[in-house]
Structure 1
């Protein structure tokens, strides 16, 4: 008893905590977590009740990497999705981590030892597998997971990451996800793919401008021997709603201009359409002038000036020069469809002809005003439609055209939503210039 008491006293002294009682297991002496504890606590390796295995759906993670963790509202960002598209296969769930956890407590073990992540303690084969699973959009995640969670598992680094790789390859789950990419699935169908009802939970991303919910993260529960267990856990933050479909986002496509040209190749003549503001022309300067002079509600007087003299201060985008030159060389039919209102006089058509060296037959400008562009895209038989705004992409999709996202310049003052890759559309790299 004396040795047991001294060991317990030594542990409590090292932890700087005098409120822990002790309990004996066969493996080690574990402290009892004080009632009401929450958040991460440093305890001894192996002193936990079960594991949570967490996986990411990377196609959503890259979109929602601007999440406000306080409100749960996501702000889409395309930068990570571009990295993802260029570096990994995003049609499979990817591991987040394997987390020791406690029953009947809001506390969880973390940073149980100071053991650093050491690739030298992992076999070459395992390092290769981890390199395929942990991507550039989650840099240093394996190091973080080992230090925060792995040190509490009482496993070696080899065993800890081997377990993660094995759990991530569960075939039934990965097949279900792969077969439903780009689709809505019922909550219960997703549950069934993961096993028993209380064996899993799901985190969904939700956006302020969309009423859908999107799968972003999954949790599964296992005992210390990695056997599936059922748990009735409290509702987790940002959990998917059970009575609402869950959308599994398909990966976005990010291509350079050269790759895009190769993709179209020598296909037959096309009919293509272009938005104008922030797609073909960087028109923030004249709009900035208009808002400062007239306020946010721009009158007809402004639009008359915009469609005539003010566009002299709009800058042609390099990507527009490249695209228009390319389509002209293919002798494709070209339309411009703008949300600007039609005015009695306009010189925009002539400005486009002169700026981009277009033929008169090529420059067909359609002014839709507040009307949706879908009808015009469909009526003109447009097959590819280029635009910067989300509404450009959705209009093209509704018209059964292929949407191509041209990125909006970072200093644009346009207020409409622009979230490259959000709809799984093709995005042109470096097209903000």
Structure 2
């Protein structure tokens, strides 16, 4: 029995050490940029403040919006890399989805204004959840992390890919068409960095989110092509069928 207890103690100790090492800020391989299609999100989250107030004049009506910018490790799924130097009390509030009870972020007025535009979820304090779970591991300050995030969303809104999706709002589209368009705009094989996420809502498969793998170094963000990986990673996973709908407001 004493040997079993000793073994369990060693396992717990090594697991704790691994967890601390695994969640060291800046020790990641790439980012994943998660962008939501707000109209589809609001089809199954109608009670959210941002969904109750969404208007056709909003940026979110015709552009992808920020879900999060996630540092991640090569070969890992589920975004287990997170909560770097975050207290247990904050993690507890986050896991209980008490986001507005978490400490506010130190953001400049300009970054906060842009974030309210590019991330409608700020009405539900999504920015706090994303910072403490993911941004804390970026090695950036709170303000710089969201300055970079805002810049990425703004740049992506100007892409032909974003316009293609917006122009097809209310219509069905083929997965192959979107993947081909991504390749054409960002280079052959770029589709490997794109994951298309769909959800069945009232019997229809809707595009709810896209996830794009980005390189770790985001110091230069003049063109969205600049932030795609310069080396090969595992192909991004998606769950969209061969044909699905782009929801319209």
After TM superposition, the score normalised by the length of structure 2 is 0.70
User: Are the counterparts in 2 of residues 214 and 248 from structure 1 also a CA contact under 8 Å?
Assistant: yes
Change (3 A) 1:20 1:147: closer
- 1:211-245 per-residue CA deviation (whole Å, 9 max, x = no partner) reads x4211011000121132125324745xx112xx22
Instruction: Measure how far apart 1:157 and its partner are.
Output: 1.2
Q: Which has the higher contact order (CA 8 A, sep 6+)?
A: 2
**8 A Cα contact 2:194 2:236, kept in partner:** no
Q: Give 5+ residue unaligned stretches, structure 1.
A: 1-15, 23-29, 34-42, 66-76, 252-433
Q: Alpha-carbon deviations, 1:45-96, whole Å to 9, x = none?
A: 011111110011010101122xxxxxxxxxxx57764332389442211100
Change over 3 Å in CA distance of 1:138–1:128 after alignment to 2: closer
Aligned Cα root-mean-square deviation (Å): 2.8
TM-aligned CA distance change 1:152 to 1:110, over 3 Å: same
CA offset digits 1:187-216 (Å, max 9, x no partner): 122224444120110110113x52x42110
Counterpart of 2:234 (choices 232, 235, 259) is 232
Tell me whether 1:160 sits opposite 2:130 in the alignment: no
User: Quick check: 1:55–1:97 contact (8 Å CA) kept in 2?
Assistant: yes
Counterpart Cα distance in 1 of 2:176 and 2:120:
30
Is 2:25–2:137's contact at 8 Å kept on the other side of the alignment?
A: yes
1:108 CA drift (Å): 2.3
* CA pair 87-118 structure 1, distance change in 2 beyond 3 A: farther
Shift of 1:131: 1.4
Report what 2:73 is aligned to: 102
- Asked if structure 2 preserves the Cα contact closer than 8 Å seen for 1:54 and 1:97, the reply is yes
Task: Describe how 1:237-316 pairs up with structure 2 within 5 A.
Answer: 239-241=239-241, 244-251=242-249
Tell me how far apart the structure 2 counterparts of residues 218 and 94 of structure 1 sit (CA, whole Å): 10
Cα deviation for residue 21 of structure 1 reads 7.7
Per-residue CA deviation, residues 312-333 of structure 1 (Å, 9 max, x unaligned), is xxxxxxxxxxxxxxxxxxxxxx
| Contact 2:86 2:132 (C-alpha < 8 Å) held by counterparts | yes
Could you say what secondary structure the match of 1:60 adopts? helix
Kindly indicate whether residue 62 of structure 2 is the aligned counterpart of residue 91 of structure 1: yes
- For residue 18 of structure 1, what is the aligned residue in structure 2? 14
Rounded Cα–Cα distance in structure 2 between residues aligned with 1:234 and 1:165: 23
Give the 3 Å change call, closer, same or farther, for CA 235–219 of structure 1 in structure 2.
closer
Partner in structure 2 of residue 113 of structure 1: 85
Is contact 1:84-1:137 (8 Å) kept?
no
Deviation for aligned residue 1:109: 1.2
* Total equivalences in the alignment: 201
Q: In structure 2, the residue corresponding to 1:130 is in which secondary structure?
A: helix
After superposition, the Cα gap between the structure-2 partners of 1:139 and 1:174, relative to the gap in structure 1 and judged at 3 Å, is same
What CA distance in whole angstroms lies between the structure 1 residues aligned with 2:164 and 2:123?
24
Native 8 Å contact 2:75 2:234 kept in 1: no
Contact kept, 8 Å, 1:83 with 1:137, in 2: the verdict is no
1:135 aligns with 2:120: yes
Provide the C-alpha distance between the structure 2 equivalents of 1:105 and 1:167, rounded to a whole number of angstroms. Answer: 23
Match of 2:195, SS state, is strand
Instruction: Identify, as 1 or 2, the structure richer in helix.
Output: 2
Residue matched to 2:94 = none
* CA distance 1:200–1:117, change in 2 (3 Å): farther
Give the unaligned 5+ runs of structure 2: 1-11, 88-101, 219-226
Q: Structure 1 residue 185: deviation in Å?
A: 1.9
Structure 1 residues 165, 109: CA separation in 2 closer, same or farther (over 3 Å shift)?
Answer: same
